[in-house]
Structure 1
Amino acid sequence: MSDDLRRAVQKVLPGVRADLEALIRVPSVSADPGATEDVSRCAQLTAQLFRAGAAQEVEILDDVPGARPVILASCPAPSGRPTVLLYAHYDVQPAGDPAIWSSRPFEPRESGGRLYGRGSADDKAGIATHLAALRAHGGRPPVGVVVLIEGEEEIGSPTLGAFLDRHRDRLAADVIVLADSENIEVGVPSFTTTLRGLANCVVEVRTLAESVHSGTYGGAAPDALTTLCRLLATLHDDEGHVTVNGLTTGHPSRTDYPAERFRAEAGVLDGVRLLGSGTIAERIWTGPAATVLAIDAPSVPEAANALTATARAKVSLRLAPGDNAIQARAALARHLRDHTPWGAHVQVTEAEIAQPYTVDARGPAFDAARRAYKRAYGADVVDLGGGGAIPFVAEFANAYPKAAVLITSPGGDPASRAHSTDENLHLADFERACLAEAFLLAELADWSTK
């Protein structure tokens, strides 16, 4: 059976690769109000692909107010077999300035064994992985399968909870496979077992009724931008540790992540010191992080010799597993209010949150998954943390608390540059991911009969 399934996956891969490239060509940027037609077009294309030999029933659902279309595909479970929910998303991040890409962001290009293009790794590869696994089984897998492909993950999946509530019974599953993470390195299958959370605030500082001449009033009257800079500097101590009180630090990770490798993958310039202390895994997976995401202030080309009256910034916390996003956001807001210098007027608006999450990676479903991925990759699975927040994971876990949750990679790795320029997918690992998921469906069928 194993050799037959390998051959079946190899047979469907050329078509799946072509389907992935077709998906990449659609600029389905959910954050762009002007891309509504492209988002809808990508949903239509995704549904069409699942109708082509992957699933027995396929629908496009648009029944949650304000939501982007959701694709729901299914194959009924044979008697006595479990049901597996396969998740991915078809929306992508904005491409930014096309001039800083090596090629056009929405035109797939292969180079050096990698497929370049926005969405190639995050997360249209997840869609393609599910297509390959199901087509390899002839659209009739040995377990029940429900496929959910959403179009809002890149904006925080704001309506996913309402969708799960509305269709809870149709989506119920024994195992949930979320193909939206990355392997720790090429050729090493990885399950993400912890995710940091997110807590954002927007802080606005005002010092003057209006901007005034910097020569006439500078030296006594504080400008808002300098005031804001001093405030933002209080988020870290001299070593780079986050100074916001009340945040949690998680348990140390057992996975090694060498500092030199991290520096290379992050593109840290020579001579620039890393923040904080402890292992790299502790700093990026199980500890908090504070980042200034953006500042509203006069641009350099438009600068005048004036004291700025108001300045604004968006501040983000990444939260350790075990923390509470609502409490952490309140702690950040309190820190910003309490540390504003010189009596400046400050307004803090509490913004987006995402709860951290820890997967209990034990039990027969995980045993089956480790066997399947080891057979496909020829290497043992590594459990790793995720530094980013994935809000939909907690949504699924809360909706289906008894289900085993697997967070897998559809072939991405740290060099895939998700959310950045020249996003790409390692094609050999993509093929291994397709094979691993096909094996997983077979393993779960065998497990269910024991």
Structure 2
Amino acid sequence: MSTFEVVEICAGAGGQALGLEKAGFEHALAVELDGNACKTLEANRPNWKVAQGDVADEDVWRPADHRGVSLLAGGVPCPPFSIAGKQLGANDERDLFAWAVEQVAVVQPRAVLLENVRGLSMPRFAGYRQHVLDRLTQLGYVADWRLLQASDYGVPQLRPRFILVALRPEYAPYFHWPEPQDHPPTVGETLVGLMGANGWSGAAAWAKKANKIAPTIVGGSKKHGGADLGPTRAKRAWAEIGVDALGVADAAPTGDTPSDFRPKLTCEMVARIQGWSDEYAWQFTGRKTTRYRQIGNAFPPPVAHAVGAAVMSALKRRGTPREIESSEHDPVYKALRSTSEYLSPERLMKNAGLQDAAELERRISLLSRDFEVEIRTVGTKTGYRLGKFKAFVGQEDHERHDLFLKYRARIS
């Protein structure tokens, strides 16, 4: 094909979009809930079609209209899986990961790219991940997960992202996860020019002290107040670098600022730490707090570029094909899913390769948070059977609809 189009859901303010564009994809559509982020997308790429609203609402866009697109991509909401949150997963009204996977059956893209927070890689969500892999296999795709560190791709920040890539079988052998690059620049090296832009004499000395990469930028949510650089632990890490994390500045320090001053970062500086630069040029619209949230919640463009380029290479069948290895995340889920019968603890442990009954109970407990696990007791014997997935996948009667409407104003 001469062009490789992408439909991007939950596009945010354009971090992934810019990276995918750099990798050679052309946006057929970008869908985003937040109006401020949509304005930023439209300001930077007036020729793109941007749809604002609930991505699961067919009045906003119709997945079937984009059948056969090269890539379906997105950064669906992170709070359902965030370590800092309650990790409600399938029970969180913001969870759209399972729904996004179901759209693969409708859109039938050649490739899928979905990213989320590190929390989704934890044992808590082993069953959820296994369900996603199994569902994509049913739909005819070869899928894999990988935890990537933004700092491995030139971004001066600790920002792990859990990435799902799925491709049709004819392309999957040509997909290789991008190799890590050399060490990223430090915060000081990245920001010294911006920090000294208004004549601050202490910029060079500050940059020398700020000789580490940054902690993860936290975009925050609409439930809380203005912009700052994260919780107490992150603020301590910023203080060690020489940054006042209690808020975001309007401008860099001026010429009359004391040389030993501890500066705050501006939105432009935060964007630079997120990977935007002269190479990844982008402008953000709105007031300071709005801009900060757009920047802080983004997928760093250089990381999206690296993964997007790997997907593009696979779609063009470049390089040496590899052997496809199966990926297993939850043997208990797989054992339960393999039959409609009730399985005894002994049989379930044997099928799942477990030796410890306590470990089986722990895994059943985790699994039951995202799935209905039926338990039947007959006399002294107990049996388990896997019930339905609790996540929203498009059901008209799912409680997600009412909860979404109730909390829409604070969803970010």
- In the superposition, the TM-score normalised over structure 2's length comes to 0.30
Relative to its length, the structure with more strand (as a share) is 1
